[in-house]
Structure 1
Amino acid sequence: MGRAEAAAMIPGLALLWAAGLGDAAPNLPRLRLSFQELQAQHGVRTFRLERTCCYEALLVDEERGRLFVGAENHVASLSLDNISKRAKKLAWPAPVEWREECNWAGKDIGTECMNFVKLLHTYNHTHLLACGTGAFHPTCAFVEVGHRLEEPMLRLDLKKLEDGKGKSPYDPRHRAASVLVGEELYSGVAADLMGRDFTIFRSLGQNPSLRTEPHDSRWLNEPKFVKVFWIPESENPDDDKIYFFFRESAVEAAPAMGRMTVSRVGQICRNDLGGQRSLVNKWTTFLKARLVCSVPGVEGDTHFDQLQDVFLLTSRDRQTPLLYAVFSTSSVVFQGSAVCVYSMNDVRRAFLGPFAHKEGPTHQWVSYQGRVPYPRPGMCPSKTFGTFSSTKDFPDDVIQFARNHPLMYNPVLPVGGRPLFLQVGAGYTFTQIAADRVAAADGHYDVLFIGTDVGTVLKVISVPKGSRPNSEGLLLEELQVFEDSATITSMQISSKRHQLYVASPSAVAQIALHRCTTLGRACAECCLARDPYCAWDGSACTRFQPTAKRRFRRQDIRNGDPSTLCSGDSSHPALLERKVLGVENGSAFLECEPRSLQAQVEWTFHRAGEVAHTQVLAEERLERTARGLLLRRLRRQDSGVYLCVAVEQGFSRPLCRLVLHVLSAVQAERLARAEEAAAPAPPGPKLWYRDFLQLVEPGGGGGANSLRMCRPQPGPRPQPGPRPQPGPHSVAAESRRKGRNRRMHASELRAERGPRSAAHW
């Protein structure tokens, strides 16, 4: 396809996206916290080593209370309670001769010819299995970590190294996907130096090493492995299977479509021993199915085809976990990411469905309608489903059919038929996901933590929507956990300690799963936040404990409706009032910032001497901003009381009253003269604004409330745009025109204001 044809397709693709997503806009988080706010108020902790990058492998060890980290030339052991303290590090560089050989092969000796530790697994009670690239010489080692909690150990014997081929990638740019079951390592990896022979490989343990059929595009076609999980099939361990998640070039795509990437889930049996006469030392139970994450549309589905990460959320029944997966899109038209949820029953159903079949190079892929041999390909040799005790006993027709038909015809669709949560045009891409199941007052909820390529973590909650199993994702928080906006490469959760550990190329970060005090100091704010970790206890928003028998703990995660729960609450703060002054034909800014970015602000106006309150409507003199209301070309009749009300989830709450006084030019002139006369004032805070207030309200100016801002303090603030500046005829402009160039120091003004009460929204 030439450039002209591709360009001609762009409008059509845009229409498909519009049909599928409608007028989709980026979801706003309820709270957005910068790195500086997290560091100052919420205890984000970071760990990094000097002259070291690429913190990619994370392993949470709850028993030892340690977080093990794999990075460039190092393995580190950190405290789960505080990764910045009691850190132990172990240097593990590649031998000099390996680095030189790597450099001779044309690789960069400073960025590629290092030992990048790609995987860490708990091997037994005293050792970890660690594998790295070894300067394009994949290598593994057993790291002794001991079993005493009070004395963390980290020791590696460089004389006892293992060959890492088939375990770790050669290239540091490739991801490693593996799982250690017992003493057997199952890996999805490139098994050659050139990165062309991708394979699913079993190594270590007592069973023979097995791999996929090499250089057969029907099995694997330039795959990018993402995650590997061991999931029991039944009570019989002979039925256990290993599931691989990856993306690859689709062999079933029509030639006219060109190169197309699809996401896959693959399966193999743990007790697979390979074939007897065919597929010797190869998998005989390997099958794969397409993993679909798309938005249905009138003109066609919008596909998120690039699988980025998968998280397995276990439940009491280990055989039916939920799979949370994040996807991006390869489209050149729109930027978007999505979260789709899959049930293991749907995955198994796809592997029990029809096989995909193609007769010849000119035929399309269709559902296989012929006879399927017995035992059905993909079944594990087990007493549960048959009489075969080993894959070596499978008949030849079973082996040949499995070799020629690894692809299933039916795809695996997400729960509910569409993504749980998506972002379009947000300026970032989802890269990682972790999930935590939380007990709340009205049930259990899954909280998702989604990493992005700009160093942020999104906190999303899955709540029921209509009839089951439909759910929707609500974006609660957006956290900038890395100051340098580095791509998040790995995430792990400690549910026991309520901590999230995040890795990037530049550092490792630790943040709490909840920040209840940030949600507000009123019952309504706490309920509207819909955070299952938090509840209103009668006086504050605090950590919710399911076992606590306290009747006044209020929480509504499903609906987020405080109208009933908080109807009798009297703990909300007094309504703030602020006096605002302006000059005729000038400008005035009425500041009002809700704590929640999802709240809508409404304004009402009450003119002095009138009874009725009127709604402030849009007009050309008025501009609504994220931080308040800007009035231009002021008139005397604009004087009055402006009430700022935040509306969220149908619940409205007044934030503050702003009393606007519009002065004439004569009054502004008098103010300027008064300030000039007060120039040789004694040292100390100069109360210049009191003279100004005396013009409006003699004897009553200078109260503490007169300068309070209608914005949440303390706590997070939305990231606003630049504040609108007053016009040339404002009070400040008049004062400058008269030659006033004195400026009160910020600390003096704060000293005069006294303690500032917090606005609670």
Structure 2
Amino acid sequence: MNHQDSSIQIFWPAPREQMEHCRLAGKNPETECANFIRFLQRFNSSHVFACGTGSYQPMCAFIQIKTGAEDPGMLAMQLMTYSIESGRGRCPYSPHEPFTGLLIDGEFYSGTSIDFMGSSAAFFRTQIDRSDQNYMRTEQNQDYWLKEPVFIGAYAISDTYNHDDDKVYFFFRETAVEAGQWEKRRVHARVARVCKNDVGGKHSLINRWSTFLKARLVCSIPGLQGTETHFDQLEDIFLLHTRNAQDPLVYGLFTVSSGIFSGSAVCIYSLAAIRAAFNGPFAHKEGLDYQWVEYKERIPYPRPGTCPSETYDPLLQSTKDFPDEVISFMRTHHLMWDPVYPLYGRPILIRANVPFQIHRLLVDRVETEAGQVDVLFLGTDAGKVLKVRVAGIRGQDPQEISLEEIHISKKPSAILDMQFSLTRQEVFVSTTNSLVRLSLHRCELYGKTCADCCLAQDPYCTWDGKSCKPYLLTKKRRAQCQHAAKTNPTSQCQNDPKAASHVVSGSLKCPCSCCHYHRGITTAEENRSAASGISLAEEKVIFGVQNNATFLECVPRSPQTTIRWLVQHSRTLALEEIESTGRFSVLEQGLLISRLAQEDAGIYRCQRIEHSFAQTLAYYSLRIIGHQAMAALTSKLSNSTEEGESHTSTIPRSDLQFHYKGNSWALGAPGTNLDEFCTAVQQRKRWRQKFWNPKFQQHPLETKKGRVRRQPGLL
């Protein structure tokens, strides 16, 4: 790839005989029988390590990166064919199987299946670019170790300043062996860890992990009388590094799906809580017919799961030095008794009973003048990316604010993966048929006023006095509307002449003087705002037919906005708030009024409300046409149009059905047809324009016959 974003292709197909074998095995030639790349990570400054499915015969190789001799900015990549080797234990056979991989210090850690059918899976460690091919793995066909695992992520984390204590943490979900026969929640989310310097046992557990421990991750909503709603399907993990490298935050994305409830949730875990679970009691099962209980007998020394290092015992130089008692204990005691609970004891974000589920998660920590704010990017199975801000992570009550819902493509397609590009300040989003780049700074979408920019509460954006611009912490000038603790534009946008905002005072009166003035509503506050010349919503005249339905559109920019509809049926009457009752339905995109009546005529205002701030987004003057008047007008217009030119309605009456979010209504009522009425009006208008257009008229002198005036005096 070069500085002009030109792509470079590398041809790395699967062997032909393997592709034929894959096809004969009943696999799809297009979506399965090819070399699908599953892992790609930089090995050093000049090489990239890659693994692919190889048409159900995994293989790995190095890709060399070269800089151009003439242009240093130009990059060239070449597949090192001599480095191609088997990828078994490093990459799954299928392009669809969940898989995780981590390349660190020349060693490859992976959670993957190891057979053609994908029925056997394990956690592996293999050597990269070394003569010795020693490997480590979990025990095969042992449910105590792993049972039907689905791998999510792997991370290397330091526990102390001694690198001998470094560990690799795996995140996955599996069928819980400790779950009872009648327990509905058979799948549990897990976190497991192994020591990086684990080399197995001396007499037992040879080439097997001797420090493998696992614990349950709990993400649930507390309920009444101790009941909890669990989100057990772990979907994604993001490790957010903090100033303390030994104490990152773990963001977990979970889902739940049942006949009565479905949704997604995000929980945060501290490494301190995870370490506490691994340092706590072990789970124990005496025999096949026994229940799982807390192990209360003597625990052998050194404590199982401890890394051999000088931190605990200078005499232990390797896991092969562990006593047989420790190795024997580790064969059947991998599960910890205490689960890991999230910070705050509940999810920080929940999306329940929505027409999508969230499957991908990215987290970016943004430094603002108010402190640190975390921004979540959530990829859904409906092809949308949700952008959510979470403030107060270190406090007692974090608050999440929806910033955007971004549609990746016109045709909905599930989000497969998302990755940050910090140098570009972008998010790369991949779907089944596209790769899209999303900028972190989308400030131009929030409007052209200080109030809009401020109320968006996007930590990537700030008001610079003229427009909503990307926020840079290094700016010498203090950001006017970026402060996380100050989201009221009434106080922050006082010097902005474009700010159109007002404070909600608890009543339905139009608030402060910067409120937008609407014709027809004659309150003192709006009269004062009229002098400012500010206009965010222009009056729109809407005609409705009695007993028909009408829809008044109002779409707020900000997802966290609360919409309020007000109506004034007469200039002498006060404003009234509209609620979703009877014939009125307040929807996400506007107000639906069914079976219009004469008393529904009036001035309708759509207001958005955030905190103590309100703003008018739409302003409609609704006028009602009666049944009889409509029939008379339609008949009169039809007759007058036939004199000029014939007119027939091109829209059948039976087709005048419209749907909006599950609500359907007909524009025509018995004896009337609003579409025909509007068409007739347009036809008559065009006929009049054509009649009066000088282009289609003859000059008066040309239309009259010439006359000879005879004057008797001249004869």
Larger relative contact order (CA 8 Å, sep ≥ 6): 1
Q: Say which of 395, 404, 416 aligns to 1:468.
A: 395
Give the letter for the 1:111 counterpart.
T
Contact 2:402–2:559, Cα closer than 8 Å, also in 1: no
Answering whether residue 369 of structure 2 is matched by residue 449 of structure 1, we say no
Give, in whole Å, the separation in 1 of the partners of 2:638 and 2:261: 57
> What does residue 437 of structure 1 align with?
365
Give the letter for the 2:62 counterpart.
F
Give the letter for the 2:614 counterpart.
S
Higher gyration radius (CA): 2
Give, in whole Å, the separation in 1 of the partners of 2:675 and 2:581: 26
Give, in whole Å, the separation in 1 of the partners of 2:126 and 2:469: 48
- 1:226, distance to aligned residue in structure 2 (A): 1.1
Give, in whole Å, the separation in 2 of the partners of 1:630 and 1:195: 52
Q: Say which of 208, 231, 249 aligns to 1:282.
A: 208
Give, in whole Å, the separation in 2 of the partners of 1:637 and 1:737: 23
CA displacement 1:683-738 (0-9 Å, x = unmatched): xxxxxxxxxxxxxxxxxxxxxxxxxxxxxxxxxxxx97779665549997396399
Question: Closer, same or farther in 2 for the Cα pair 1:579/1:178, shift >3 Å?
Answer: same
Does 306-315 or 484-493 show the bigger shift?
A: 484-493
Q: Say which of 129, 142, 154 aligns to 2:49.
A: 129
Q: Say which of 414, 432, 437 aligns to 1:510.
A: 437
> What does residue 620 of structure 2 align with?
658
SS in 2 for 1:392: helix
- 1:520, distance to aligned residue in structure 2 (A): 2.0
Answering whether residue 418 of structure 2 is matched by residue 491 of structure 1, we say yes
> What does residue 327 of structure 2 align with?
399
Question: Closer, same or farther in 2 for the Cα pair 1:612/1:210, shift >3 Å?
Answer: closer
CA displacement 1:400-453 (0-9 Å, x = unmatched): 112221111111111111111111121222211111111223111111111122
> What does residue 527 of structure 1 align with?
454
> What does residue 342 of structure 1 align with?
269
> What does residue 596 of structure 1 align with?
558
Contact 1:672–1:734, Cα closer than 8 Å, also in 2: no
- 1:272, distance to aligned residue in structure 2 (A): 1.1
Question: Closer, same or farther in 2 for the Cα pair 1:444/1:358, shift >3 Å?
Answer: same
Map 1:675-694 onto structure 2 (within 5 A): none
Question: Closer, same or farther in 2 for the Cα pair 1:105/1:527, shift >3 Å?
Answer: same
Give, in whole Å, the separation in 2 of the partners of 1:256 and 1:635: 58
- 1:239, distance to aligned residue in structure 2 (A): 1.0
Q: Provide TM-score, normalisation by structure 2.
A: 0.80
SS in 2 for 1:525: helix
Unaligned runs of 5+ in 1: 1-77, 683-718, 749-761
Question: Closer, same or farther in 2 for the Cα pair 1:102/1:560, shift >3 Å?
Answer: same
- 1:611, distance to aligned residue in structure 2 (A): 5.8
- 1:666, distance to aligned residue in structure 2 (A): 5.9
Q: Say which of 522, 538, 543 aligns to 1:576.
A: 538
CA displacement 1:134-170 (0-9 Å, x = unmatched): 1221110101122566112121132331221111112
Question: Closer, same or farther in 2 for the Cα pair 1:635/1:263, shift >3 Å?
Answer: closer
Contact 2:633–2:677, Cα closer than 8 Å, also in 1: no
CA displacement 1:558-605 (0-9 Å, x = unmatched): 464333223454303414222334566666654443333543333334
Give the letter for the 1:136 counterpart.
Y
Give the letter for the 1:599 counterpart.
T
Give the letter for the 1:363 counterpart.
Y
> What does residue 17 of structure 1 align with?
none
Give, in whole Å, the separation in 1 of the partners of 2:583 and 2:333: 70
- 1:621, distance to aligned residue in structure 2 (A): 5.1
SS in 1 for 2:250: strand
Give, in whole Å, the separation in 2 of the partners of 1:591 and 1:224: 45
Contact 2:89–2:110, Cα closer than 8 Å, also in 1: yes
SS in 1 for 2:76: coil
Give, in whole Å, the separation in 2 of the partners of 1:320 and 1:176: 25
Q: Say which of 101, 109, 119 aligns to 1:178.
A: 101
Answering whether residue 348 of structure 2 is matched by residue 386 of structure 1, we say no
Q: Say which of 215, 221, 243 aligns to 1:316.
A: 243
- 1:193, distance to aligned residue in structure 2 (A): 3.0
Q: Say which of 190, 209, 217 aligns to 2:113.
A: 190
Q: Say which of 334, 354, 360 aligns to 2:287.
A: 360
> What does residue 200 of structure 1 align with?
123
Contact 2:638–2:680, Cα closer than 8 Å, also in 1: no
Question: Closer, same or farther in 2 for the Cα pair 1:679/1:126, shift >3 Å?
Answer: farther
Give, in whole Å, the separation in 1 of the partners of 2:430 and 2:187: 27
> What does residue 649 of structure 1 align with?
611
Unaligned runs of 5+ in 2: 501-533, 646-659, 690-715
Give, in whole Å, the separation in 1 of the partners of 2:305 and 2:8: 45
Q: Say which of 546, 555, 570 aligns to 2:473.
A: 546
Contact 2:372–2:391, Cα closer than 8 Å, also in 1: no
SS in 2 for 1:427: coil
> What does residue 209 of structure 1 align with?
135
Answering whether residue 659 of structure 2 is matched by residue 733 of structure 1, we say no
Contact 1:528–1:649, Cα closer than 8 Å, also in 2: no
Give, in whole Å, the separation in 2 of the partners of 1:594 and 1:586: 26
Q: Provide TM-score, normalisation by structure 1.
A: 0.76
